[in-house]
Protein backbone atom coordinates (compact mmCIF):
# COMPACT_ATOMS: atom_id res chain seq x y z
CA UNK A 1 0.00 0.00 0.00
CA UNK A 2 1.54 3.36 -1.00
CA UNK A 3 2.07 5.82 1.84
CA UNK A 4 2.37 9.59 1.51
CA UNK A 5 5.42 9.38 3.80
CA UNK A 6 8.06 6.70 4.04
CA UNK A 7 7.90 4.70 7.30
CA UNK A 8 10.89 6.55 8.74
CA UNK A 9 9.34 9.90 7.80
CA UNK A 10 5.98 8.93 9.28
CA UNK A 11 7.68 7.85 12.50
CA UNK A 12 9.47 11.20 12.73
CA UNK A 13 6.23 13.03 11.92
CA UNK A 14 4.25 11.30 14.70
CA UNK A 15 7.06 11.58 17.23
CA UNK A 16 7.46 15.27 16.41
CA UNK A 17 3.77 15.89 17.08
CA UNK A 18 3.85 13.96 20.37
CA UNK A 19 7.02 15.62 21.64
CA UNK A 20 5.69 19.06 20.74
CA UNK A 21 2.32 18.61 22.46
CA UNK A 22 3.59 16.59 25.42
CA UNK A 23 7.08 17.93 26.24
CA UNK A 24 7.61 15.79 29.34
CA UNK A 25 10.97 14.41 28.20
CA UNK A 26 9.72 10.81 28.06
CA UNK A 27 10.86 9.05 24.90
CA UNK A 28 8.22 7.83 22.46
CA UNK A 29 10.41 6.82 19.52
CA UNK A 30 11.06 3.17 20.47
CA UNK A 31 7.40 2.35 21.08
CA UNK A 32 6.34 4.00 17.82
CA UNK A 33 8.99 2.24 15.74
CA UNK A 34 8.19 -1.14 17.29
CA UNK A 35 4.44 -0.79 16.66
CA UNK A 36 4.49 0.61 13.12
CA UNK A 37 4.73 -2.70 11.16
CA UNK A 38 1.69 -4.21 12.89
CA UNK A 39 -0.16 -0.91 12.55
CA UNK A 40 0.56 -0.77 8.81
CA UNK A 41 -0.73 -4.33 8.41
CA UNK A 42 -4.00 -3.55 10.18
CA UNK A 43 -4.38 -0.24 8.36
CA UNK A 44 -3.91 -1.85 4.95
CA UNK A 45 -6.45 -4.58 5.74
CA UNK A 46 -8.98 -1.95 6.86
CA UNK A 47 -8.45 0.41 3.92
CA UNK A 48 -8.49 -2.46 1.41
CA UNK A 49 -12.21 -2.82 2.18
CA UNK A 50 -12.99 0.88 1.72
CA UNK A 51 -13.55 1.68 -1.93
CA UNK A 52 -14.28 5.38 -1.47
CA UNK A 53 -12.46 7.91 -3.64
CA UNK A 54 -9.83 9.12 -1.17
CA UNK A 55 -8.83 5.57 -0.26
CA UNK A 56 -7.92 4.60 -3.83
CA UNK A 57 -5.47 5.91 -6.41
CA UNK A 58 -5.25 4.25 -9.81
CA UNK A 59 -7.05 1.26 -8.35
CA UNK A 60 -4.62 0.88 -5.43
CA UNK A 61 -5.28 1.38 -1.74
CA UNK A 62 -3.43 4.45 -0.42
CA UNK A 63 -2.76 6.19 2.89
CA UNK A 64 -2.34 9.96 3.08
CA UNK A 65 -1.21 11.36 6.42
CA UNK A 66 -2.84 14.69 5.48
CA UNK A 67 -6.26 13.08 5.02
CA UNK A 68 -7.60 13.62 8.53
CA UNK A 69 -10.09 10.73 8.45
CA UNK A 70 -7.31 8.36 7.47
CA UNK A 71 -4.85 9.81 9.95
CA UNK A 72 -7.42 9.51 12.75
CA UNK A 73 -7.78 5.81 11.99
CA UNK A 74 -3.99 5.43 11.91
CA UNK A 75 -3.52 7.09 15.31
CA UNK A 76 -6.20 4.90 16.89
CA UNK A 77 -4.64 1.72 15.47
CA UNK A 78 -1.14 2.76 16.53
CA UNK A 79 -2.30 3.47 20.08
CA UNK A 80 -4.20 0.16 20.21
CA UNK A 81 -1.19 -1.84 19.01
CA UNK A 82 1.02 -0.26 21.68
CA UNK A 83 -1.66 -0.83 24.33
CA UNK A 84 -1.92 -4.53 23.46
CA UNK A 85 1.83 -4.97 23.77
CA UNK A 86 1.72 -3.51 27.28
CA UNK A 87 5.10 -1.89 26.73
CA UNK A 88 4.45 1.85 26.96
CA UNK A 89 1.14 3.10 28.32
CA UNK A 90 2.36 6.70 28.28
CA UNK A 91 2.88 6.66 24.52
CA UNK A 92 -0.48 4.96 23.91
CA UNK A 93 -2.12 7.64 26.06
CA UNK A 94 -0.35 10.43 24.18
CA UNK A 95 -1.53 9.04 20.84
CA UNK A 96 -5.09 8.88 22.16
CA UNK A 97 -4.83 12.48 23.33
CA UNK A 98 -3.25 13.55 20.02
CA UNK A 99 -6.26 12.14 18.18
CA UNK A 100 -8.55 14.24 20.38
CA UNK A 101 -6.43 17.34 19.86
CA UNK A 102 -6.17 17.01 16.07
CA UNK A 103 -9.55 15.55 15.15
CA UNK A 104 -11.89 16.05 18.12
CA UNK A 105 -12.21 12.25 18.17
CA UNK A 106 -12.31 10.33 21.44
CA UNK A 107 -11.53 6.64 20.90
CA UNK A 108 -9.60 5.25 23.86
CA UNK A 109 -6.72 2.95 22.99
CA UNK A 110 -8.34 0.02 24.83
CA UNK A 111 -11.54 0.19 22.76
CA UNK A 112 -11.64 -2.70 20.29
CA UNK A 113 -12.95 -1.45 16.98
CA UNK A 114 -13.47 -4.09 14.29
CA UNK A 115 -10.84 -4.82 11.67
CA UNK A 116 -12.85 -2.89 9.05
CA UNK A 117 -14.13 0.53 10.09
CA UNK A 118 -14.36 4.03 8.71
CA UNK A 119 -14.35 7.51 10.24
CA UNK A 120 -16.11 10.21 8.21
CA UNK A 121 -15.19 13.72 9.46
CA UNK A 122 -15.76 12.44 13.03
CA UNK A 123 -15.42 15.73 14.93
CA UNK A 124 -17.05 15.42 18.35
CA UNK A 125 -17.37 11.63 18.13
CA UNK A 126 -16.91 9.54 21.29
CA UNK A 127 -16.63 5.79 20.83
CA UNK A 128 -16.46 3.82 24.05
CA UNK A 129 -16.51 0.15 24.82
CA UNK A 130 -18.90 -2.04 22.84
CA UNK A 131 -18.89 -5.23 20.79
CA UNK A 132 -18.36 -4.28 17.15
CA UNK A 133 -18.52 -6.23 13.89
CA UNK A 134 -16.84 -5.31 10.61
CA UNK A 135 -17.96 -2.44 8.36
CA UNK A 136 -18.69 0.06 11.12
CA UNK A 137 -18.85 3.70 10.04
CA UNK A 138 -19.09 6.71 12.37
CA UNK A 139 -19.81 10.29 11.31
CA UNK A 140 -19.54 13.49 13.39
CA UNK A 141 -20.80 13.84 16.97
CA UNK A 142 -21.54 10.11 17.31
CA UNK A 143 -21.67 8.48 20.75
CA UNK A 144 -21.25 4.77 21.55
CA UNK A 145 -20.84 3.47 25.07
CA UNK A 146 -22.13 2.01 28.28
CA UNK A 147 -24.89 3.18 30.58
CA UNK A 148 -24.66 3.99 34.29
CA UNK A 149 -25.00 0.28 35.13
CA UNK A 150 -22.10 -0.70 32.89
CA UNK A 151 -24.22 -2.31 30.17
CA UNK A 152 -22.52 -2.17 26.75
CA UNK A 153 -23.94 -2.12 23.21
CA UNK A 154 -23.55 -4.83 20.60
CA UNK A 155 -23.25 -3.52 17.05
CA UNK A 156 -23.64 -5.80 14.04
CA UNK A 157 -21.94 -6.06 10.67
CA UNK A 158 -22.42 -3.12 8.37
CA UNK A 159 -23.69 -0.35 10.66
CA UNK A 160 -23.53 3.36 9.84
CA UNK A 161 -24.06 5.95 12.56
CA UNK A 162 -24.86 9.34 11.04
CA UNK A 163 -24.21 12.71 12.67
CA UNK A 164 -25.36 13.17 16.23
CA UNK A 165 -26.62 9.60 16.66
CA UNK A 166 -26.15 7.61 19.87
CA UNK A 167 -26.14 3.94 20.83
CA UNK A 168 -25.90 3.45 24.58
CA UNK A 169 -26.36 0.70 27.15
CA UNK A 170 -27.71 -2.76 26.46
CA UNK A 171 -28.62 -1.97 22.86
CA UNK A 172 -28.35 -4.62 20.17
CA UNK A 173 -28.03 -3.30 16.62
CA UNK A 174 -28.40 -5.86 13.85
CA UNK A 175 -26.57 -6.16 10.54
CA UNK A 176 -26.88 -3.65 7.69
CA UNK A 177 -28.45 -0.91 9.80
CA UNK A 178 -28.44 2.84 9.18
CA UNK A 179 -28.85 4.94 12.32
CA UNK A 180 -30.25 8.30 11.27
CA UNK A 181 -28.82 11.67 12.23
CA UNK A 182 -29.80 12.57 15.79
CA UNK A 183 -31.24 9.15 16.65
CA UNK A 184 -30.76 8.05 20.28
CA UNK A 185 -30.93 4.33 21.00
CA UNK A 186 -30.84 3.39 24.68
CA UNK A 187 -31.14 -0.26 25.63
CA UNK A 188 -33.18 -1.25 22.60
CA UNK A 189 -32.87 -3.88 19.87
CA UNK A 190 -32.70 -2.78 16.25
CA UNK A 191 -33.37 -5.59 13.76
CA UNK A 192 -31.14 -6.15 10.76
CA UNK A 193 -31.83 -4.32 7.53
CA UNK A 194 -33.44 -1.26 9.08
CA UNK A 195 -33.15 2.51 9.17
CA UNK A 196 -33.56 3.67 12.78
CA UNK A 197 -34.65 7.19 13.67
CA UNK A 198 -36.08 9.02 16.66
CA UNK A 199 -35.26 8.46 20.32
CA UNK A 200 -35.80 5.59 22.75
CA UNK A 201 -38.25 4.25 23.62
CA UNK A 202 -39.97 5.59 20.49
CA UNK A 203 -37.55 4.45 17.81
CA UNK A 204 -39.00 4.43 14.30
CA UNK A 205 -37.91 1.60 12.01
CA UNK A 206 -38.09 1.42 8.23
CA UNK A 207 -36.56 -1.21 5.92
CA UNK A 208 -33.48 0.04 4.13
CA UNK A 209 -32.82 -0.35 0.43
CA UNK A 210 -29.12 0.26 1.02
CA UNK A 211 -26.34 -2.25 1.45
CA UNK A 212 -23.73 -0.76 3.77
CA UNK A 213 -20.86 -2.87 2.48
CA UNK A 214 -21.66 -2.03 -1.13
CA UNK A 215 -23.05 1.51 -0.91
CA UNK A 216 -21.15 3.10 1.99
CA UNK A 217 -17.83 1.27 2.04
CA UNK A 218 -18.03 0.60 -1.72
CA UNK A 219 -16.35 -2.73 -1.06
CA UNK A 220 -16.50 -5.52 -3.61
CA UNK A 221 -15.97 -8.66 -1.55
Supply the pLDDT for residue 201. 95
Q: Give φ, ψ of 126 to 5 degrees.
A: -125, 115
Rounded Cα distance, 139 and 178, in Å = 12
Per-residue pLDDT tens for 87-130?
899 999 999 999 999 999 999 999 999 999 999 999 999 999 99
At residue 221 the predicted structure's pLDDT band, cuts being 50, 70 and 90, is low
Cβ atoms 176, 165 nearer than 8 A: no
pTM, to two decimals = 0.96
Per-residue pLDDT tens for 159-174?
999 999 999 999 999 9
Domains of the chain: 7-105 (no CATH), 117-212 (2.160.10.10)
Supply the pLDDT for residue 59. 81
Mean pLDDT, to the nearest integer, of 65-92? 96
Mean pLDDT, to the nearest integer, of 71-95? 96
Amino acid sequence: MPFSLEPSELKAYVCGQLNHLFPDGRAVEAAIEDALPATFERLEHCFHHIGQFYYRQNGRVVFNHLNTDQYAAFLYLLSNVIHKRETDRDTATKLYALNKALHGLDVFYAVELPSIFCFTHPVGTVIGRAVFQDYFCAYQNVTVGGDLDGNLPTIGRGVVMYGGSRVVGRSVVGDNVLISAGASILGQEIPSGMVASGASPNILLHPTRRDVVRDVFEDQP
